[in-house]
């Protein structure tokens, strides 16, 4: 019977050690998770900024009629059909 109690005591000590280890690992994981969440939010902001920048590069002009973004090489607005001819500017000397 004494051997069983001693074995149970050893098992209980091992279980306690495991619980301590798990708790310490959870405490170490919490800041990493918070950092990952912040990084995920930052990446989302950067992605939005990149999309906006890409739209500005690909579609630098806006239709004078419907105000939709359009590419510089378009002659007609694909949304409203308005002619996109630029007005000629004369420079006098």
How many beta carbons lie within 10 A of that of residue 54, not counting itself?
10
Does 5 score more than 80 pLDDT? no
- Residue spans of beta strands (DSSP E) within 33-86: 61-62, 69-70
Residues 52, 82: one domain?
A: no
Residue-wise pLDDT tens digits, 7-46: 788 889 899 989 988 888 888 888 888 999 999 999 999 9
Residues 44, 79: one domain?
A: no
Residues 30, 74: one domain?
A: no
Cβ contact 65:82 at 8 Å = yes
Residues 9, 50: one domain?
A: yes
Residues 18, 51: one domain?
A: yes
Instruction: Give the pLDDT score at 45.
Output: 97
Residues 16, 35: one domain?
A: yes
Please give the residue range of the domain that contains residue 24. Answer: 2-58
Residues 46, 6: one domain?
A: yes
pTM value?
0.50
């Amino acid at each position: 019977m004494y051997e069983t109690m001693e074995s149970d005591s050893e098992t209980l000590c091992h279980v306690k050690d495991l619980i301590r280890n798990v708790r310490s690992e959870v405490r170490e994981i919490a800041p990493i998770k918070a950092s990952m969440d912040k990084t995920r939010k930052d990446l989302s902001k950067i992605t939005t900024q990149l999309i906006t920048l890409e739209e500005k590069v690909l579609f630098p002009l806006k239709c004078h009629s419907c105000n939709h973004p359009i590419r510089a090489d378009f002659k007609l607005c694909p949304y409203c059909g308005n002619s996109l001819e630029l007005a000629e500017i004369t420079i006098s000397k």
